[in-house]
Structure 1
C-alpha cells in the first residue's frame, strides 16, 4: 500500500524532472557555450543534444535543426536591436542625428553583447536557406522603417530629394550589416569596434541630409 507520504514523495520526484522549458533552455545554453568554443559549422545536432543531456530524438522535439537553435538565440538580440526604432519617426524632428545614432548603436550593442552568436549567424547565413529567409525578412523590415523615416524627413524639408528613399535605405542597412559583422568577427579589413557607431552614423547622416553631387 502506498502511504500519503510516499505519494507526496513520488509527486515531489516527478516535480523535479526537467520540464519542456528546461530542456529547451538546456539546448540553448549548450549552443551558447559551444559557439564560444568553436564555429557554427563544427557543431552538430549530436553535440547540442549531448551537451543538454538529451537524446537526438528528444532534441528534434524542440528544434528541427541547429539553425533553428541559432534563430531562437537571435530573437531576443534582434528584439533589443529593434526596440530603439519604436517611435523613432516621431522623435526625428527634435534631434535627427541622435535618433539615427541611437538606432545604429542599439543594433551594434545588441550583437556585440554576444559576439559568438553574431559570428555564428554570419557563418550560418552562407549555408542555411532557412536562416537567410528569416534574416531577409528582418532586413526588409528595417529597410522599410528607414525608408519611411527618410521620406518623413524629406516631407518636412529637413532632407533633400536625392536618390530614391528605398534605394538609399537598402544601401545603408546592408552597409550596416556588413560593417558591423566584419568588426564583430575581427575580419580584415574592418572598422575598429570603438569607431563603428560613429563611422556609420556619419555616413547615414551625410547620405540622408547631404545635397546631391
Structure 2
C-alpha cells in the first residue's frame, strides 16, 4: 500500500504476467500432466511469448513450485484450526476437525490436478518430490502432536505407542481419499459426504467416538 496516499498498489505489468503464467499452467494441468505440457503452451495461454516466459520462470518446475507454495500456505492455514485447537471437549475437537476437512476438500476440488501432480504422479521431479516429502512430514508431525496432547489430557484413545504412526496412517488415508475423489470428479468431494466419512474415521480412530452427525 502506498504510505503517502493510503492507496493499495496496483499490480504491475510484471505481476500480471506472472499471474497469467500461473493461471495458464493451472488450467493446462486440469487437462494433462505437466510432463505433457510445453513452455510454449503455457506462454500461449498466458498471452505472452516463450522468451517472455523465461523472464519470469526458468523452468516448468519453477511454475509448479510457485503454485505449490500458495497451496501449501492454504493447507497449513486451513488445518491449523484443528491442529492448534485447545478446546477441551470432544465437540470442540469435532468442530475444528470438520472445518479442517471441509476447507481441504474445497482445496482438492479446486486444485486437484496440481496436487495430484505432486502427491500421486510417480515420475515427479526430484524438487517436487522433496516438497511432497517435507509437506507430508510436516502434517504427520503436527497431527501426531495433536494426538499426543489429547492422549495426555485423557481425550484420545491410547492407540499405537507412537502417535506419529497413527498420524501417518490418517494423513496418507486422507490424501489418498481426496486425490481419488478429485481425479474422478466425485460429487462426494463437494457435497460433504467424503468429509463426513473421513470425520467418522478420524474421530473413531483418535477419540473412540463418531462425529455427532455421523452414523
Per the alignment, residue 22 of structure 1 pairs with 16
Are 1:162 and 2:156 matched, yes or no?
no
- Long gaps (5+) in structure 1: 1-17
Stretch deviating more after TM superposition (178-187 or 167-176): 178-187
1:73 pairs with 67, 70, 80, which one? 67
CA contact (8 A) 2:81 2:96 kept: no
Question: What's the counterpart of residue 204 of structure 2?
Answer: 206
Q: Which residue of 2 aligns with 1:128?
A: 125
Determine whether 1:117 maps to 2:117.
no
Task: Note if 1:32 corresponds to 2:26.
Answer: yes
Distance 2:68 2:24 in 1: 15
* 1:1-213 matches, cutoff 5 A: 19-86=13-80, 88=82, 89-94=84-89, 95-122=92-119, 124=121, 126-163=123-160, 164-186=162-184, 192-193=188-189, 194=191, 195-210=193-208
Asked which structure has the greater CA Rg, the reply is 1
Secondary structure at the counterpart of residue 90 of structure 1: coil
Corresponding residue pairs, total? 192
1:192 to 1:168, Cα distance in 2 relative to 1, 3 A: same
Shift of 1:87: 5.2
Query: Is the Cα–Cα contact under 8 Å of residues 143 and 170 in structure 1 kept in the other structure?
Result: yes
Partner Cα distance (1:139, 1:182) in 2: 17
- Does 73-82 or 94-103 show the bigger shift? 73-82
Moved more, 175-184 or 57-66: 57-66
Tell me: CA distance 1:175–1:87, structure 2 relative to 1, closer, same or farther (3 Å): closer
Farther off after superposition, 77-86 or 156-165: 77-86
TM-score for the superposition, normalised by structure 2: 0.77
- CA–CA distance in 1 between the matches of 2:66 and 2:86? 31
Deviations 1:112-148 (A, max 9, x none): 1234434444565642221111122111111111011
Q: Is the 8 A contact 1:91 1:99 kept in 2?
A: no
Secondary structure of the 2:144 match is: helix
TM (norm. structure 1) is 0.77
RMSD (Å), alpha carbons: 2.6
The 8 Å contact of residues 172 and 204 in structure 1, kept in 2 or not, is answered as yes
Paired with 1:123 and 1:27, the residues of 2 have a C-alpha distance of: 23
